[in-house]
């Protein structure tokens, strides 16, 4: 009878033993033996609860929880645990079943995740988030995000080391150095001096973490989040950055690293002075010419900023051929200029050669710096032409255009609505990570209620409501035909009733009233009930402050919700995969069944 009931419920739920095995994290053969009748696990045993949990989660995943309740004759207001308990009784023909209980992963290593380990070490040494933040000279919210698994310090190697040293010092001052060593799993009798324990803590905290691109993703988002309203401000004045003797030169050839630097100052200085409107940049040579001399680097940054603020549009083809970190470095070096909206960033799909390096800095109305040198000889023996003849400039532009034909956009900047960057998602899975509930799921009446006290003029209100319609349509489309996953924290009562929960409205910093928030929550619950492919992930806190991220397999849109308002759209496949992996990791950590999520959301109604 047991195996027949298992077969019956799998058929009615349109799921398979393979699905149950995947969801319940157990061997497929174990489930197959239960289905075939070769094995009947003991009622209330670990194997039975694993099967019951797998069936329940399969029903939840396929949007058939109501069907499951109907089969086992469970009341509609039952919780997830109550449904599992009913299911256990139904499978075993009424045999007494204990209340459902959470199952621990098989052979789980204690404190396996970095956040769990850090939390255990901080509890042992008596460190709070606030105290740890002060000792590390960082905001306590970062420590909280580390412990919750939303962030990783791997983007900052110095911080990784400082965390270990701080834990070791605090353990020493509390007489718990040996206890900290034991927590890391160090063998009895090994050295327990500070240096040895600090090394053991480092190995314990970081060695078991899965190698991924999370630090790269977090580093990019952090830099976008760190833009300030006056970001387009040159470190030096024009006179300080561009020596008059250099920009007035009239020579056609420069040699070596120093020569290229001098040519670049002459080039950019005159682009700014002449008010030129276009620059086309490409170089696949070693970046030492730009970064090795900090004095030149500041002059270069100042002149680039001056050109951009003077109305010069810049197209740059990045040389990206090795790994994702190289791509991130290329993006981050130019990010401070992105809020200007004057940067177009590309990556060339053709692989660079290893015999020669090429540099091409072109201003079509003025001049071009060009060089083709043996790889490795650029600094000492490199030769760079400085051409101003119009026919030569035309030839250089043709060369650049040919490269551009083999390039894809690396990063695109939007200074208006990020909806412009979401075209072409089709039916791809879509994930939205935000610090608050998204505008896409906000009811129209709620939006109008919030805007009514915004002080915005009619034109701006119309723009925002039109954006809302587009986003709502996009959300509904994906929830119906693709998949839509949202990640957001839920506020504490003191935040909500204190008017500190910000709504996701572009260009505004307006808070929900408790009623408005309840109406938005009610609409999210409606999404959960009506769309099988919609999931809402409740995270303990926002991974990033006032930043919203839309992730698909084809593009990633990172949007600032504070001045300067800007969206950076990334479309490189490797970068999209890195962001997708990041969202999947958070999803695995905080996924809950829809019924449990709904019950948590209903607390705000």
What single string gives the DSSP state of each residue in 140-177?
Answer: HHHHHHHHHTS--GGG-HHHHHHHHHHHHHHHHHTT-H
Residue 422 has pLDDT above 60, yes or no: no
Strands 547-551 and 556-560, bridge-based pairing: antiparallel
Read off the pLDDT band of 108 (50, 70, 90): very low
**Of 13 and 521, which is predicted with more confidence?**
521
With cut-offs at 50, 70 and 90, classify the pLDDT of residue 105. Answer: very low
**Chain segment 175-213, per-residue pLDDT in tens:** 888 888 888 877 655 557 888 888 888 888 887 555 566
The whole-chain average pLDDT of the chain stands at 85
Give Cα separations from 100 to 197, 310, 448, 588 (angstroms): 41, 67, 44, 21
Q: What is the pTM of this model?
A: 0.74
Does 37 or 435 have the greater pLDDT score? 435
The span from the CA of 527 to the CA of 486, in Å, is 11
* The token pair that represents 561 in the structure block: 């919700």
Sign of CA dihedral 397, 398, 401, 403: negative
- Tokens 């255990």 sit at which residue? 120
Q: Residue 58's CB: how many other CB atoms inside 10 A?
A: 22
CA atoms within 13 Å, Cβ hemisphere of 113: 15
Identify the residue with better confidence: 164 or 110: 164
């Amino acid at each position: 009878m047991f195996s027949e009931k298992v077969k019956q419920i799998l058929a009615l739920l349109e799921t398979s033993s393979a699905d149950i095995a995947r969801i319940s994290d157990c061997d497929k053969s174990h489930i197959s033996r239960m289905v075939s009748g070769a094995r009947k696990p003991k009622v209330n045993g670990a194997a039975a609860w694993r099967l019951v949990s797998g069936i329940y989660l399969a029903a939840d995943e396929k949007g058939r929880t109501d069907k499951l309740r109907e089969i086992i004759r469970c009341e509609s207001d039952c919780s997830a645990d109550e449904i599992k308990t009913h299911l256990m009784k139904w499978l075993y023909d009424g045999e007494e079943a204990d209340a459902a209980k959470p199952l621990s992963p098989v052979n789980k290593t204690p404190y396996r995740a970095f956040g769990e380990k850090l939390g255990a070490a901080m509890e042992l040494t008596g460190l709070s988030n606030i105290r740890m933040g002060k000792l590390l000279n960082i905001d306590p919210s970062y420590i909280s995000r580390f412990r919750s698994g939303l962030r990783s310090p791997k983007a900052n190697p110095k911080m990784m080391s400082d965390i270990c040293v701080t834990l070791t010092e605090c353990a020493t001052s509390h007489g718990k150095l040996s206890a900290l060593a034991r927590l890391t799993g160090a063998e009895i009798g090994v050295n327990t001096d500070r240096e040895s324990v600090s090394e053991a803590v480092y190995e314990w905290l970081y060695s078991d973490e899965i190698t991924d691109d999370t630090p790269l993703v977090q580093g990019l988002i952090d830099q976008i989040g760190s833009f300030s309203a006056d970001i387009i401000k040159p470190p030096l004045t024009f006179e300080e950055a561009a020596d008059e003797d250099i920009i007035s030169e009239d020579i056609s050839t420069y040699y070596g690293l120093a020569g290229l630097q001098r040519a670049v100052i002459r080039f950019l200085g005159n682009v700014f002075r002449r008010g030129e409107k276009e620059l086309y940049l490409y170089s696949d040579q070693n970046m030492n010419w730009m970064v090795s001399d900090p004095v030149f680097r500041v002059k270069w940054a100042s002149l680039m900023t001056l050109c951009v603020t003077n109305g010069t549009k810049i197209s740059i083809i990045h040389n990206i051929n090795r790994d994702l970190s190289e791509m991130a470095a290329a993006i981050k070096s130019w990010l401070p200029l992105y809020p200007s909206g004057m940067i177009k960033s590309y990556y060339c799909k053709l692989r660079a050669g290893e015999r020669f390096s090429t540099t091409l800095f072109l201003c079509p109305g003025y001049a071009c710096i060009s060089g083709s040198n043996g790889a490795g000889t650029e600094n000492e023996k490199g030769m760079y032409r400085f051409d101003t003849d119009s026919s030569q400039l035309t030839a250089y532009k043709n060369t650049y255009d040919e490269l551009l034909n083999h390039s894809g956009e690396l990063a695109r900047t939007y200074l208006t609505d990020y909806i412009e960057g979401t075209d072409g998602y089709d039916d791809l899975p879509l994930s939205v990570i935000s610090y608050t509930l998204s505008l896409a799921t906000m009811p129209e009446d709620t939006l109008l209620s919030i805007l009514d006290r915004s002080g915005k003029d009619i034109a701006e209100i119309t723009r925002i409501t039109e954006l809302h319609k587009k986003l709502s349509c996009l959300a509904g489309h994906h929830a119906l035909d693709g998949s839509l996953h949202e990640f957001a924290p839920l506020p504490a009562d003191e935040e909500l009733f204190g008017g500190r929960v910000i709504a996701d409205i572009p260009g505004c910093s307006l808070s929900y009233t408790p009623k408005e928030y309840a109406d938005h929550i009610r609409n999210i619950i409606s999404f959960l009930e009506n769309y099988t492919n919609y999931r809402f992930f409740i995270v303990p806190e926002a991974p990033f402050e006032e930043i919203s991220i839309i992730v698909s397999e084809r593009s990633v849109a990172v949007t600032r919700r504070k001045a300067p308002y800007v969206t950076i759209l990334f479309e490189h496949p490797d970068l999209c995969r890195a962001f997708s992996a990041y969202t999947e990791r958070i999803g695995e950590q905080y996924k809950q069944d829809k019924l449990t999520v709904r019950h948590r959301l209903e607390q705000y109604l």
